[in-house]
Structure 1
Amino acid sequence: MARLFGARVISADVSGEKIEKTKKYGAEAVINTSERPFDASFDEAVTEAAGGTGVQVVIDLYGSSKSLAACYRCLDTAGTLVRIGSRVGDRLEIDPEALTMKEVVLTGCRYNTKEEFNKSLELVRAGKIEPVVSFSFSLSEVNDVLDKLELNQVFGRGVAVL
């Protein structure tokens, strides 16, 4: 969806399979975090993929302390870091002076609004975006799916078949 608004999409994941899927859905650059963990090598890869600068927007779907810190470091001046979802117990330490001098925006998001959901449906209907439904499951498999979510082994969305 970000590409609809002119964004250059850089994707990062530890799973080669997920990385390949992000390419299919429009990522122009990918970073394998098993090869470039959330350290200076990750920062260098993002800067290179961004054309030598920081990035304007980061959407962190993982949200560990390390991924959040790396995403924050990769922001350009006046950039925005969006954390979607939650992970219990992880924290982000930020130098208040650096936050002020960098003029970044940090925000969190649990779900989308009704208006955002309806706009997404319009984009799907118009063929501008393709929903990522990667699997379906029965109610008897719910606990297995929750375990996979906890282990970050799910790409896209699953659909419960009743």
Structure 2
Amino acid sequence: MFAAVLHGPRDVRLDRVPDARIERPTDAVVEVALSAVCGTDLGGYLGVDPVSGAQRMGHEFVGVVSDVGRAVRSVRPGQAVLAPMGWSDGTCSFCLRGLPTSCRSGGLWGEAGADGCQAEAVRVPHADGTLVPVPGTADAELLRRVLPLADVLSAGHHAGVTTKVRPGRTVAVVGDGAVGLCTVLAARRLGAERIILMGTHAPRLSMAREFGVDDIVLSRDQAAIDEVRALTGGDGADAVIDAFGSEQSLATAVGVAKSGGDVCLVGVTGQPTWVDVNAMIRRNITLQAGVAPARNYLPELLDAVLADQIDASPLFDKSVPLASVADGYAAMGERSAIKVLVSP
């Protein structure tokens, strides 16, 4: 079969790789219907996070089960399924605590020894703990709306849950990429009274307006902090999400938080990041960070998608066939696309 493989900075190729197949009784094989290029995929592509040797790419996909191991009970061949950004068994102590991303026998798509999702098919370890059936047939439009749940929409929802977004709260989002825009969507669904987005890219800001943002701040650094505080009567925001992931964006997030507020870091920094802990202590600010436990949220968010309560599919502003996946990476690297959809 064919799969996207990163060989070095800006060198993504469609390589022939071994066919995905059942290796253990708990495995399933899923034929990929749609996958996506994520901002975190760009670390290796742009050379920020150098890779050692060839690396399979992609961690977001929906598809149709083609084969299952003899121990699999929750899915069957011919069934449309959604997977989170990695696999987990659903039974270890971390999974039972709600941390499938720390599963003792789990892993992430595209890491060493694992299938990437920008491929014709994927071997899914621990299929029962990982895959979520999508009702009905594999309708292309439905799968397009479901795909963001694999990562970015779950990340935005996680940020909202972590920062206690609810009616009456003001939310500030730092970063206008796919995760930032999904955070706007999630915050609106969770009932936020006011949503402020800090960003600079016109097409993304236009989409943010469609997603429900109330105020847009174009300034950066201290000027952005001052503007958000002016918009909130000097207090700052109750909930702040850093969806960009840099030392400066985190400093901005802490700076715009109200005393006693909550800050969540969901952007992937790729580098060690310093934060002014003393400022947080003085103002009783709570900071949480971590990979979204997407598998926990999939049933709830899938129901919301099916009920037309949330739709992040407009993020896919460029589509490429798998054979042209390198063009998708180039578009993301040049910021001419928000998020790229990859079809077979």
Question: Hey, what does 2:319 align to over in structure 1?
Answer: 136
- Tell me whether 1:116 sits opposite 2:297 in the alignment: yes
For residues 3 and 153 of structure 1, do their structure 2 counterparts lie closer, same or farther at Cα, with a shift above 3 Å needed? same
Q: Is the 8 A contact 1:54 1:75 kept in 2?
A: yes
The answer as to whether partners of 2:332 and 2:340 remain within 8 angstroms in 1 is: no
Unaligned runs of 5+ in 2: 1-185
- Structure 1, 73-82 or 111-120: larger mean CA deviation: 111-120
Residues 50 and 146 of structure 1, relative CA distance in 2, 3 Å threshold: farther
Higher relative contact order at CA 8 Å, sep ≥6: structure 1 or structure 2?
2
Secondary structure at the aligned position of 2:234 is classed as coil
What are the equivalent positions in structure 2 for 1:61-72 lying under 5 Å apart? Answer: 61-72=243-254
CA contact (8 A) 1:12 1:19 kept: no
- In the aligned structure 1, how far is the partner of 2:341 from the partner of 2:190? 28
> For residues 2-13 of structure 1, what are the structure 2 equivalents within 5 Å?
2-7=187-192, 8-13=194-199
Larger radius of gyration: 2
User: Residues 50, 5 of structure 1: CA spacing in aligned structure 2 closer, same or farther, 3 A cutoff?
Assistant: farther
Higher helix residue share: 1
Segments of structure 1 that go 5 or more residues without pairing to the other structure are none
Contact (CA 8 Å) 1:63, 1:90: kept in 2 or not? no
* Cα drift, residue 151 of structure 1: 5.4
Q: Percent of aligned positions with the same letter in both sequences?
A: 20
Q: Structure 2 length as normaliser, TM-score?
A: 0.42
Q: Does 1:126 align with 2:311?
A: no
Q: Quick check: 1:84 aligned with 2:84?
A: no
Give the distance between the partners of 1:100 and 1:27, measured in 2 at CA. 30
Q: CA deviation at 1:14?
A: 1.6
Residues 1:69 and 1:97: Cα distance change in structure 2 (over 3 Å)? closer
Q: Deviations 1:48-93 (Å, cap 9, x if unpaired)?
A: 3334321111111111211110111111112111111412225133
Q: Tell me what 2:53 maps to.
A: none
Structure 1 counterpart of 2:282: 101
Q: 1: CA distance between counterparts of 2:239 and 2:335? A: 22
